[in-house]
Structure 1
Amino acid sequence: MTHRIAGAPLDFAALRSELEVPGDFDSAVLADAEHAAASVRLPDPDATDIPFVTIDPAGSRDLDQALHIARDGDGFVVSYAIADVASFVVPGSALDAETHRRGETLYFPDVRVPLHPPGLSEAAASLLPGQIRPAVLWRITLDATGEVAAVDVGRARVRSTAQLDYAGVQRSFDAGTPPASVEALVDVGTRRLALARARHAIDLDLPEQSVEPDGPGGWTLTLRSPLPVERYNAEISLLTGMCAASIMLRGGFGLLRTVPPPDPGAVQALHRAAGALGIDWPEGAAPGDVLDSVDRADPRHVAFIEHAVALLRGSGYTPFDGAPPAQARHSGIGAPYAHVTAPLRRLVDRYGSEICLALHAGTAIPDWVRRAVPALPAQMQQADHRAHLADRAVVDATEAWLLRDRVGERFDAVVIDADERAGTVVLDEPAVRARCTGPDLPVGERIRVRLVTADVEQRDVHFERAWPTRVSARVVVNPARITATRADKTGQWYSCSAAG
């Protein structure tokens, strides 16, 4: 579902200013990055013989991960190279301080606000094709079921052989001609997804609402679901993060990404929603199992998934030194998990990698890592919050802009949640999600709504339920016959007659 915004004079720069998004890097930070790019030392271990490839959105330059999967009997060996950002950032430097201030890369439709200067994130540290780069290399051996049999992690020099994008890789698999380096990706991905189901992982997998360029001066508002290869590729990242968490827990020091178990009240509410929406919930089934069975093309099932968002509240970063934390799991994944696979775009991953490298090698964790870890949860929570605000503000502003001249018009929409007086609807076209006023909105059903507000400055879009004309009659009486023409509750006209 897309809609082009004619002219699209949306001021995303003003939005960044309002949200206090960091601007350009200062001269000291740029000088640090330039010096690091010119003086980085490559690791001695050489893994350039492995034909790695990267798989990212088309046009990406900040390439954190490079992948190769080899079949090993009835199992697999996953080689996953992660950009070695710590080789470029000197602890305590101006560059280091700036990354702690930013926390993560922010993505706007017109620009990317990077965690590191582009000279690093899009050049010297990025795993660009044909370039020898320092990397943190994970070698994960899987058995025939996709379970982890062995893990090794260490520094190595690597070289990517090709930069691939999701759409192109999906087409190659559909055509039966997948790239040789990731020919086994579907087999590994499906096995890992089966294991996720066995862990009762909670995978919401909702369509993503985003703003994308559409030619000169235009933007497109889209609602898209991930391609199958995106899910399989994500499983490689999740696998690596789970292995990282295991190393941390065995070693007695780490920083986990945690989500507490679903609140019992949220599970009960979801169970009630399933009944109201006609979704089968087998006796004893876990919420994640029910979510895995729904049809994401069915509006009632999409509404059910929207209700399930409440299951995954309270995400955070949990540091520990010594005994494992009382709550060490990521309930969405169904296992302990740590961030280590996106260090160019997320600050915490640099520290997660250093912890795993030291613990796996049996060496001391660097002092600069130990000093920084206690403050990282608050820094990352602040960065995550800013990223969420930015994402939401971009979409809200775009929705208001494209609807600004359509106040009073009626649209077809699906109700995805509701209370006694109002709810949330998603339009069939364009891909707008907004609040709607109206009593007893039928969750999971399609209704007509009328646009009441589209305020670009306030980024506010609001609808009300559009009720059809209930009765409108014209009656002609004569001595012999009565004829009436009226509208029924659907708005269709019909006639009826009666003899006098």
Structure 2
Amino acid sequence: MPRRQLHMTGAADTPLRAALRGLRAELDLPADFPPAVLAEAAEAAKSPDLSGHRDATDLPFFTIDPPTSTDLDQAMHLERRGDGYRVHYAIADVAAFVRPGSALDAEAHHRVTTLYFPDGKVPLHPTLLSEGAASLLPGETRPAALWQIDLDSEGRQIACEVRRALVRSRAKLDYAGVQRQIDAGTAEEPLALLKDIGLLREEQEVARGGISLNVPEQEIVERDGTLDLDYRAPLPADAWNAQISLLTGMAAARIMTESGTGILRTLPVAPDGAVARLRLCAQALHIDWPHHVPYAEVVRSLDPHRGNHAAFLQECTTLLRGAGYTVFEHGDLPTPAVHAAVAELYTHCTAPLRRLVDRYAAELCLAAFAGGEPPEWVLRALPALPKEMAEGTRRANTVERECVDLVEAALLKDQVGAVFDGYVIDVKDDEPAVGTVHIEDPAIVARIEGGTALPLGERLRVRLTQADPGSSKVLFAPA
């Protein structure tokens, strides 16, 4: 999970956009795809491998994504089944377009993930595929890994299957539009069931001890020629949609563990020290966290529309440190095998247009459900995947961190010397005069350096001493 999502609207040609272009060059990120890769993508777009795909175009699928998204990995159709439910979840079949060992395949292993900037992205696959021939765009027949997951009346999984299929989405929906339809009672049943199933799955999450962080997105907006930073709180529809993806990731992990070969997304339980620090952060942000109340219960009580709650949700992501990918064979599960936040065996398999590992997880599940062995090209690549994904995650985290620093420096560059109200939310163990401060207005989290030990968990007046978009650095000191 990204610590922050930054999105930019307006500001067509500002110094900030120029700085973001410079950042891409400074990080030496891939820009255009090599000609050989583009040539292979063009050929694959015309002639994908559709062998073994059954026809499921009669199911009226729909997608739910941000309004401007065109790289659509998932489409769903929901229906009642007796007193329970049936979830049809179609995931873009990237393997139908990427031939193992090809230049296109090698480039995907080089890029690993799509990298997101406030003003654009560096895609994993050529847009001819990721936003075209492989994307589950409305009105287009597309190859997919089609999951069918049956739930009982309380939202528990009781059956699951996955097969290759041809699907056709009927509608491209966005979160705000979905929320309006459901709230107004105008959503037809396939869409209306998203709330019913989403709420049941959230109850199941609580029962197993899991937790979802509805981290607000920070949006850079242009107002009267100046830039500002706002939070966009996630809607309930965001969370209901995420529950369908989590359900599928858990089903996939179960299929792989039963087959004996697979790759899991794992996360160890956060150490006591990390939770203790988070308690101090809660105190600083005036979050009520009684000692007898579990962390997960506190998080579920937060309102991401409130500034201090939004900031605390951002800090909660520190407990997700240590997440990784672990390969297992011959049924020998790793330790730990469970993802601590999901509180269940889990894998990534629902975003293959944007994340390399998902293509391999899909192939492992398809082979296991069919009762066969995974393809040889999957078994060859599997041992190296955790290290590749770790490097891709490190690169994505660097991009995210540098983007946040750059944006905050750009917003504050004319206020050096100004004094702000803030809260010290972190202090370095080996340097107690160095830490992190959360500024109330604008909503900024930045480094602070003082001459003496910083008062962790306390309110503090701070002075902005540096805000340099050129170096992407923001620095405060006690006022």
| TM-score normalised by the chain length of structure 1 | 0.85
Structure 1 window deviating more from structure 2 (235-244 vs 214-223): it is: 214-223
Contact residue 211 and residue 394 of structure 1 kept, 8 A = no
Contact residue 253 and residue 346 of structure 2 kept, 8 A = yes
What's the counterpart of residue 378 of structure 1? 387
Contact residue 204 and residue 305 of structure 1 kept, 8 A = yes
Match of 1:458 among 447, 471, 475: 471
Deviations, residues 340-364 of structure 1 (Å, cap 9, x unaligned)? 1000000000000000000011011
Kindly report which structure 2 residues correspond to 1:399-410, keeping only aligned pairs within 5 A, or say none: 399-410=408-419
Deviations, residues 40-75 of structure 1 (Å, cap 9, x unaligned)? 143541111111111111111100000111122321
What's the counterpart of residue 429 of structure 1? 441
Kindly report which structure 2 residues correspond to 1:312-461, keeping only aligned pairs within 5 A, or say none: 312-322=320-330, 323-418=332-427, 420-437=432-449, 440-441=454-455, 443=457, 445=459, 447-461=460-474
What's the counterpart of residue 52 of structure 1? 61
Match of 1:92 among 101, 105, 108: 101
Query: What is the deviation of 1:311?
Result: 3.0
Contact residue 105 and residue 114 of structure 1 kept, 8 A = yes
**Structure 2 Cα separation of the partners of residues 109 and 310 of structure 1:** 22
Structure 1 window deviating more from structure 2 (102-111 vs 20-29): it is: 102-111
1:151 aligns with 2:160: yes
Contact residue 92 and residue 144 of structure 2 kept, 8 A = yes
Q: Identify if the C-alpha distance between structure 1 residues 343 and 273 changes in structure 2 by more than 3 Å, giving closer, same or farther.
A: closer
Q: Identify if the C-alpha distance between structure 1 residues 108 and 407 changes in structure 2 by more than 3 Å, giving closer, same or farther.
A: same
What's the counterpart of residue 21 of structure 2? 13
Deviations, residues 210-266 of structure 1 (Å, cap 9, x unaligned)? 546x59998653322211111110111011000000001100000001001222333
Q: Identify if the C-alpha distance between structure 1 residues 264 and 219 changes in structure 2 by more than 3 Å, giving closer, same or farther.
A: same
Deviations, residues 426-462 of structure 1 (Å, cap 9, x unaligned)? 33333322123455546375x5432211111111111
**Structure 1 Cα separation of the partners of residues 154 and 73 of structure 2:** 27
**Structure 2 Cα separation of the partners of residues 3 and 413 of structure 1:** 27
Q: Identify if the C-alpha distance between structure 1 residues 44 and 257 changes in structure 2 by more than 3 Å, giving closer, same or farther.
A: closer
1:229 aligns with 2:237: yes
Contact residue 51 and residue 159 of structure 1 kept, 8 A = yes
- Tell me the amino acid that sits aligned with residue 228 of structure 1: P
Q: Provide the identity percentage.
A: 50
- Tell me the amino acid that sits aligned with residue 443 of structure 1: G
Kindly report which structure 2 residues correspond to 1:157-176, keeping only aligned pairs within 5 A, or say none: 157-176=166-185
What's the counterpart of residue 239 of structure 1? 247
Structure 1 unaligned segments of length 5 or more: list them: 467-500
Q: Identify if the C-alpha distance between structure 1 residues 412 and 110 changes in structure 2 by more than 3 Å, giving closer, same or farther.
A: same
Q: Identify if the C-alpha distance between structure 1 residues 57 and 8 changes in structure 2 by more than 3 Å, giving closer, same or farther.
A: same
What's the counterpart of residue 30 of structure 2? 22
Deviations, residues 281-326 of structure 1 (Å, cap 9, x unaligned)? 464x543234323455666666665664443321110001112223
Query: What is the deviation of 1:154?
Result: 0.2
Q: Identify if the C-alpha distance between structure 1 residues 426 and 270 changes in structure 2 by more than 3 Å, giving closer, same or farther.
A: closer
**Structure 1 Cα separation of the partners of residues 370 and 228 of structure 2:** 49
**Structure 1 Cα separation of the partners of residues 281 and 229 of structure 2:** 29
Deviations, residues 12-50 of structure 1 (Å, cap 9, x unaligned)? 222112112111111110111111111114354111111
Contact residue 149 and residue 159 of structure 2 kept, 8 A = yes
Q: Secondary structure at the match of 2:15?
A: coil
Contact residue 414 and residue 426 of structure 1 kept, 8 A = yes
**Structure 2 Cα separation of the partners of residues 135 and 303 of structure 1:** 38
Query: What is the deviation of 1:332?
Result: 1.1
- Tell me the amino acid that sits aligned with residue 81 of structure 2: D
Match of 2:73 among 64, 69, 73: 64
Q: Secondary structure at the match of 1:334?
A: coil
Match of 1:188 among 179, 182, 197: 197
Contact residue 280 and residue 456 of structure 2 kept, 8 A = no
What's the counterpart of residue 257 of structure 2? 249
Contact residue 303 and residue 415 of structure 1 kept, 8 A = no
Q: Secondary structure at the match of 1:183?
A: helix
**Structure 2 Cα separation of the partners of residues 433 and 3 of structure 1:** 21
**Structure 2 Cα separation of the partners of residues 216 and 39 of structure 1:** 49
What's the counterpart of residue 3 of structure 2? none
Look at both structures and tell me which one has the larger radius of gyration over its CA atoms: 1
Contact residue 53 and residue 181 of structure 1 kept, 8 A = no
Query: What is the deviation of 1:273?
Result: 6.4
Query: What is the deviation of 1:463?
Result: 1.9
**Structure 1 Cα separation of the partners of residues 310 and 67 of structure 2:** 28
**Structure 2 Cα separation of the partners of residues 216 and 160 of structure 1:** 40
- Tell me the amino acid that sits aligned with residue 386 of structure 2: P
| TM-score normalised by the chain length of structure 2 | 0.89
What's the counterpart of residue 472 of structure 1? none
**Structure 1 Cα separation of the partners of residues 391 and 98 of structure 2:** 22
Deviations, residues 66-117 of structure 1 (Å, cap 9, x unaligned)? 0111122321111100000000000000000000000011122333211111
**Structure 2 Cα separation of the partners of residues 41 and 93 of structure 1:** 14
Q: Identify if the C-alpha distance between structure 1 residues 182 and 144 changes in structure 2 by more than 3 Å, giving closer, same or farther.
A: same
Contact residue 3 and residue 429 of structure 1 kept, 8 A = no
- Tell me the amino acid that sits aligned with residue 193 of structure 1: E
Deviations, residues 399-436 of structure 1 (Å, cap 9, x unaligned)? 11121111112334444345653543333333322123
Q: Secondary structure at the match of 1:189?
A: helix
